[in-house]
Structure 1
Amino acid sequence: MREAPAPVEGIRLSGIGDEAGSTLLEQIRALELVGWHTIELRTVDGIPLADLSDRHFERVAEALSDARMSTVCLDSRIANWGRPITGDLEADLTELRTLARRCGQVGTRYVRIMSYPNDGLDDADWRDEALRRLRILAAEAEQSGLVLLHENCAGWAGRDGSRMLQMLETVGGPALRLLFDMGNGVEYEYDGYELLRQIVDHVAHVHVKDARGPASAAVYTLPGDGECRVADCLRLLVARGYSGVWSVEPHLRVRPHEGLAGAGHERLGPFVTYARRLEELIRNEVARPVGGAPR
C-alpha cells in the first residue's frame, strides 16, 4: 500500500467515497491506492446512507473497521437541493435520527446538510422558515452528540457569507458549523475564496473541488487547473489554524445533482489521479508557501 505524505501538520486527506466507486469495496480500494485512511460517505451501492437497511449498514461499518478506514462525515440529503423550503420537515428529522445511529456505528459526529432552496416564498419568509427548521435540526443533533455541517451550496445560506454567519448566530449552540466547498462558487456564481475569507474561522470541514465557468456549463477540473484558487484556499485555512480534513469531491464522473454517475471503472482512475494531483499541489504550493497566506 502506498503511504501518503503528511503535507501539512494536523491535516488529514480524505475523499467522498462514491466519487470513486459505487460499492463500498471500490470506495475503500481507491483510498487505499493513494494511501489515505479516512473516508466521507454519501451513498453505497447507489443508495443514500439513510435508506440502507440496518443489516446493509452493519456490513458497511464492518468493512470499514476491517479496512481500518475512519469515517469523517456522513453526507445527508437534509435541506439539500432536492428538499425545498415547503417540503416536509419530518423527512429531514427522520433522516437525521437514522444517521445519528449510523454515526455511532462508524465513529463520526459530522453530518453534512444544506439550508433549503426556496419554493415561492418571499425572502423574509424563506429566511424565517429556514432558520426555524435549522434550529429544530440543530437541537435534535445536539441531543445526539452530532455536529451539522452546513455546506455552501443549495439553500437560504448557501451562497452568502453574511447569511451563513447570521445562521450560526441565530441557531447558536455547538451543533452547527460550516463545511466549505471551494468549487461550488463557479456553478452558483460567487467568489469562493472571498466567501472563505468571511467564514474561515467557522469552517469545520472542507471539500476540495475545482472548476471553471460559465455557471451554465461548468467544467470540473483537476485541483489547480480551474478558477477556484484551490492553493490559495488551502493556504488561508492553514494560516488561520484549520486542522481538520480536506476531502476531495472531484465531480469528474459523479455529479448527484445532475444525475451523473459513471461506472466503477470510469470513476476509480480519475479519482486516484485527482488525489495524487492534490498531494502534489499541497507539497509544492501549500506545505511550504512563499510569502505567507494569500490576501
Structure 2
Amino acid sequence: MLTFVRASGERLRETGSILWRCFYSVTLTILCSIGLAFIPQGIESLRLVSQPGWNFPVFAVSVASWSLAAWYSARLTLGRIFAGNAIVDCADTPYVQWLRAWLPRLLGVLPPTLLTVRYQLLGEPVLALAFAGAALALAIGAFVLAPHRWFGSPLSRLPGSEASLRFVELQKRTVITVVTAILLSFALPLAIWWKPVEVTSVVTAPALLCFAFGSWILFGDLVLTYYFRHFKLPSMAALPLLLFVLFSSWNDNLDILPFVNGRGFPLLASDAPDGSRTESSPASYSIRRISLDLA
C-alpha cells in the first residue's frame, strides 16, 4: 500500500510538472474547446459559421491553426531540456516519456474532435458539418502522428535510441518556423484594420476567436515559458493571471448592481455625475451588458 501511494504521488508530481511546462497549450485547448462545444454562447457561434459561403471553410482553417499551434508549442516545450531541477527536465520514466510523446498529439486533435461531436448533436441542418469536422480531425491526427524531426540538435540521446526525442537547443529551421508563426498571427489584425468590412464579412467572430487561441498559445508557451527558461529565468506563465487580478479592480463593469428595478433594468451606480444611483435606460443597459459579457 505504501509503495502504491508513493508511486501515485510521483506520477502526480510528474503530471503537474509537465502540465505547468505547457500551461497555455493545455488550458487554452481544453477549456476553450469545451466552451465552444458545450456553453450556449459557443454553440451559437458554431451555428453562425454554418451559414452558406466561406464562413465554415475559414472557420475550419482557424480551428486547424489553433490545433497545430497547441501541438507544436507543447511538443517544443516538453521536448526541450532546460537547466535546473524541474521534474520534466530530470525525469525520464516511461510515464513521463509517454506524456511527452502523446500529450501534444492529444491536444492537437481535441478541438476538431469536440466540435465534430457538437455538430453531430446539433443535427440538421448543420449535420453535414460534422462530417467535415471529422475529416479535419482525421487529417490533423494523421499529421501529428507522423514522425517529425523539426527540432533537436544536438540530441540528448544517440540516433536510434528508443527513448523519446529530447533536445538541448533548437535547430535553425525550428526557430524560423516559430518566428514565422508568431509574425503571421499579426497578419489578421492588420488585415482587419486595413479592410474591416471586407475581412470580417468572411472571417467571422468564431474564426477570429480560434485564430486568437492559437496566437495566445504561441505567445504563452514559446515566449512567456520557453524564452525565459532558455535564459535560465523563472517561467512567466502566471504573469497574465497576476495582471488580470491586479487590474480587475479598475474594471468599470463592477458598477453594475446585482438587482433589478420595477421596469426590468438594473440600477447603475455610475450613471449620474455625482455617483448616485439612477435608473438605466434600455440602451444603456444593453451597452453595459455587452461590455460585461465580453469581459
- What TM-score, normalized to structure 2? 0.26
Larger radius of gyration: 2
Could you say which structure has the greater relative contact order, defined with CA pairs below 8 angstroms and 6 or more residues apart? Answer: 2
More strand as a share of residues: 1
Q: TM-score, normalised by structure 1?
A: 0.26
